[in-house]
Amino acid sequence: RLDRRQLRHLQEDLHKPPTSVRGGLQDVIEELYLENQILDHFNPTDKRTWKQRYFRRTELYKEGGPVFIYIGGEGQEGARRLASGKLFMTYLAERFRAKMYDLEHRYYGFSHPTPDLSSASLQYLSADQALADLAYFIEYL
């Protein structure tokens, strides 16, 4: 059981900005963009798209292995997340020879679907839109 101090330290560690990764893994974790993420998944007449950032790590992958996707939270994502030995998904990927992806949440980090944060623009910031982003990303993969 973790006390408050340990829990706070763990949370801070997991949410540090991506600066470096352990053991040279920066060479195997790619920063990429899904070029045509849909702005409004629930309005079929709105054809606007935007670039959503994601990270990919494939050097562990073995043909037929699973694919794991880390769903970015309300903050910047980075290569550091997929390299972290503290992330349970990394342990599972090593064990099951999986590909790993980290999808950055819309409106956070470098994933900006609109040019500003006006009320009109923020109508696209919702759990439903974020889940639809994830579904579209899975189809893209």
Looking at the predicted structure, is the pLDDT value of residue 137 above 90?
yes
Checking if the pLDDT of 100 tops 90, the result is yes
Domain 4-140 homologous superfamily, CATH: Alpha/Beta hydrolase fold, catalytic domain (3.40.50.1820)
Distances (CA, A) of 138 to 70, 86, 98, 141: 12, 25, 15, 5
Q: What is the pLDDT of residue 18?
A: 43
Name residue, tokens 């974020």: 130
* Listed residue (86, 57, 83) closest to 69, CA to CA: 57
Average pLDDT estimate for 86-98: 90
| Spatial CB neighbours of 99, under 8 Å, sequence gap ≥ 6 | 56, 57, 58, 60, 61, 65, 66, 67, 68, 93
> What DSSP designation does 117 have?
-
Predicted local confidence at residue 123, as pLDDT: 97
| CA 55 – CA 135 distance, rounded (Å) | 16
How confident is the model over 114-128, as pLDDT tens digits? Answer: 999 999 999 999 999
pTM, entire model: 0.79
**What is the per-residue pLDDT across 12-46, written as a single tens digit (0 to 9) for each?**
655 554 444 455 666 689 999 999 999 999 999 99
Residue 41 phi, psi (nearest 5): -70, -15
Q: Dihedral angle at the C-alpha atoms of 101, 106, 110, 115, nearest 10 degrees?
A: 150
- Give me the percent of the chain exceeding a pLDDT of 70: 82
Residue 103: predicted pLDDT: 97
Contacts of 118 (CB under 8 A, 6+ apart): none
Q: Which residue has the higher pLDDT, 46 or 87?
A: 46
